[in-house]
A and B are shown apart, each in its own frame.
Chain A
Amino acid sequence: MKIHEYQAKALLSEFGIPVPKGAVATTPAEAKRIAAELGGKVAIKAQVYAGGRGKAGGIKVANTPDEAEKLAGQIIGTRLVTHQTAPEGVPVSNVLVEKAVSVQRELYLSIIIDTASRMPVMMASEAGGMDIEEVARVSPEKILKVYIDPAVGFQAFQGRKLAYGMNLSPIQIRPATSLMANLHKLFQAKDCSLAEINPLVVTADGEILALDAKLSFDDNALFRHTDIERLHDVEQEDPLEVKANELGVKNYIKMDGNIGCMVNGAGLAMAVMDLITQAGGRPANFLDIGTVNNTDRVVAAFKVFTTDPSVKAILVNIFGGITRVDVIAQGVVEAHKQMDIRLPLVVRLAGTNVDEGKRILAQSKIKFIEATNFYDAARKAVAAAKGERN
């Protein structure tokens, strides 16, 4: 789960990491008031989850409170389109108004789980800023890494290694090392999946602070961080994905095709999407229905399909294992009882309790197209979505 920059900075602050002075504004008037309180030049930063804000015009600099009001007015309430968003962009409801900082150096600092070593890795570079990925690709030696042993945690010598490695001046080594230790504390305490400060800046006064920050959290660990879960801003996400999530359908990703897919297992769901594409169609979504123990989630998935105007056919492909096919079949029947579903339905069932599942569907009055294997299912769904009879 992602959070906004202003929320990330509040967390950094709580963990003793210096950030620029500033506050969040939801109206231009508020932006003006904050700018006046801060005094001098301020940065107005659109609060969106997507990256690439700077290049997309989501960050502006104001010299006076009046200018801050004017510029905030140009950002708040609009939609920001960056290279990471859908073409329609994402809504901007808030701006962060921050005291402008005179930057001497732009560094990079992050923590992520390294899957090869199976432990957190802290990465640092003196080539921070917008082109850090290019730096990593062209001159990987400029990215310094230390691996954090879970038994002993982050150590001061590791901090010194990175700090000296970034050519910080002697007086900056200690604050930089403590900043790194604090970032690791935050990463660990809040179950982050990513903690990234880019750029980490050295100001003209020699102070080190987090000019921008990105924090993401492990969805699997949110059960023990209700404070973080509350920060979730659903406006930043696809409305159908939000609806699916509210209905308890977790692994749903909206796509641009017209075949609503319900599959169990992420790998199989992707394979079914590959087959639909090979058969000349396009999936309307990715959906791993997951482990189904009752009919609720199946009914919920049908609700999402019927809400999505682009869906022209529904494909249910289930290979039961931990998920029982009979429960899925009951769910399909229940969905058709609760809703008037007129979309063509292609069903392919196999695995745990398949005979019972097929019997349940056969005895219901639901019209559906039966498929014998998953390629057959994809082919029939593509034909059905085109309005062809199978």
Chain B
Amino acid sequence: MSILIDKKTRLLVQGITGGEGSFHTQRCIEYGTRVVAGVTPGKGGSETLGVPVFNTVEAAVEETGTNASLIFVPAAFAADAILEAADAGIPLVVCITEGIPILDMVMVHNYLKDKSTRLIGPNCPGLISPGKCKAGLMAGEIHLPGNVGVVSRSGTLTYETVAQLTSLGIGQSTCVGIGGDPLPGSTFVDILELFQKDKDTRAIVLIGEIGGTAEQEAAKFIKEKMTKPVVAFVAGATAPPGRRMGHAGAIISGSSGRAQDKIAALAAAGATIAPSPAEIGTTMKKMLEAQS
């Protein structure tokens, strides 16, 4: 098994005819993902990369039975694209687009509250269930099917981590990039919950970074709800202190945005902390060996 995407995923790509959209659609298809439809308003009725293109998501759902959408729409129009996918009832929406105004995302979250759609991203690399399905930007060949789940706020640091795991022979069940935006569609907690339920995930790597309180919320969940072991790394211990936003930011989050506070919270919750980003794979290997 895996979480969120697998061989049954029938992927739609919104913005399939754009430069990035078509490049990465091609690579998803090469990896073995079933891309069943694309949407670009105005290009309905055409075909690209062997995939039928529709004007609306609704039409794509009716014609192809797509059950997941990958969004490459420019930032100014991306919120609209997410809403369109949710309105059409697509259960999983992965938004790659970076730079979406935060107030647009406030509106999106408000709309999604009463919908069954799960959003991953925005500003994320997407996700992959190795050997089954890739709905994202990651290089497929660095992955290996297996039993470690990966969840991360950072795209490229996830690639580093996966490359370390694979080189040590540790395969992955699903790797999820939840994205670096302040209002992600899915949080660490959402994804940890899915990994905890997934029979084929034995252990999890969590990669956080400075800013916000997402790692502390993850720590609380790990402590209270998780039985599977977690290896964690938090990037930014040596980063410059964040640019302050008046007093309001500090009032809301206190000092919790710092790497050391996040690391302390995760360690206290029972996660094993990787001492450096170069040692995430070896930390997981040691932990798995100690368990078996």
Contact = CB atoms under 8 A, between A and B. Distances in A.
A267 B235 CA distance: 6
Nearest to B233: A271
Given A265-B154, A373-B278, A118 B106 contact: yes
B156 A268 contact: yes
B101 A214 contact: no
Interface residues of B, number: 64
Interface string A295-329: 00000000000000000000000011110000000
A274 B159 contact: no
Contacts of B157: 265, 267-268, 271
Contacts of B239: 270, 273, 286
Interface stretch (A56-64, A99-107, A109-117, A165-173): A109-117
B102 A216 contact: no
A271 B235 contact: yes
B101 A220 contact: yes
Contact of A322 (B137, B154, B210, B254): B137
A264 B99 contact: no
Interface string A241-262: 0000000000001010000000
Nearest to B167: A373
B140 to A, nearest CB: 10
Given A188-B103, A266-B209, A196 B156 contact: no
Interface string B5-49: 000000000000001100010010000000000000000000000
Contacts of B240: 253, 255, 286
A350 interface: yes
* Tier of interface size on chain A: 35 or more
A267 B222 CA distance: 22
A375 interface: yes
A320 B139 contact: yes
Contact of B180 (A112, A221, A267): A267
B4 interface: no
A110 B251 CA distance: 10
B114 to A, nearest CB: 11
A116 B213 contact: yes
B245 A112 contact: yes
A118 B182 CA distance: 9
Nearest to A322: B137
Contacts of B106: 113, 118-120, 150
B159 to A, nearest CB: 4
A132 interface: yes
Contacts of A253: 240
Nearest to A223: B76
A105 B209 CA distance: 40
B96 A322 contact: yes
A121 interface: yes
Interface in A271-302: 271-278, 283, 286, 290-291, 293
A221, A264, A275: residue with the most chain B Cβ atoms closer than 10 Å = A221
B235 A270 contact: yes
A148 to B, nearest CB: 9
A216 B96 contact: no
Contact of A270 (B98, B210, B278): B210
Contact of B154 (A113, A218, A267, A373): A267
Nearest to A375: B278
B232 to A, nearest CB: 13
A149 B110 contact: yes
Contacts, number: 195
A196 B101 contact: no
A352 interface: yes
Given A267-B152, A270-B239, A110 B103 contact: no
Given A112-B245, A253-B240, A271 B100 contact: no
B155 A150 contact: no
Given A113-B106, A123-B248, A275-B276, A221 B24 contact: no
B121 interface: no
A266 B159 contact: no
A110 B276 contact: no
Contacts of B156: 263-265, 267-268, 319, 321, 351
B227 interface: no
Interface in B155-178: 155-160, 163
B269 interface: no
Contacts of B159: 268, 319, 321, 350-351
A137 interface: yes
Contact of A321 (B98, B138, B249): B138
B277 interface: yes
Contact of A214 (B24, B160, B246): B246
Interface of B: 19-20, 24, 27, 75-76, 96, 98-107, 109-110, 125, 136-139, 142, 152-160, 163, 180, 182-183, 207, 209-210, 212-214, 233, 235-240, 244-252, 254, 276-278
8 residue pairs, one from A and one from B, having the closest CB atoms: A267-B154, A265-B156, A221-B101, A375-B278, A271-B277, A268-B156, A270-B236, A267-B157
10 contacts: A115-B214, A191-B103, A220-B75, A220-B102, A264-B156, A265-B155, A270-B210, A322-B20, A322-B96, A352-B137
Interface of A: 51, 84, 108, 110-116, 118-121, 123, 132-133, 136-137, 143, 149-151, 188, 191, 193-194, 196, 198, 214, 216, 218, 220-221, 223-224, 253, 255, 263-268, 270-278, 283, 286, 290-291, 293, 319-322, 350-352, 354, 373-375
Given A118-B109, A221-B102, A321-B125, 18 more contacts: A110-B246, A112-B245, A115-B214, A119-B110, A123-B252, A133-B247, A133-B251, A136-B254, A191-B101, A194-B248, A218-B103, A273-B238, A273-B239, A275-B276, A276-B238, A322-B155, A350-B163, A352-B139
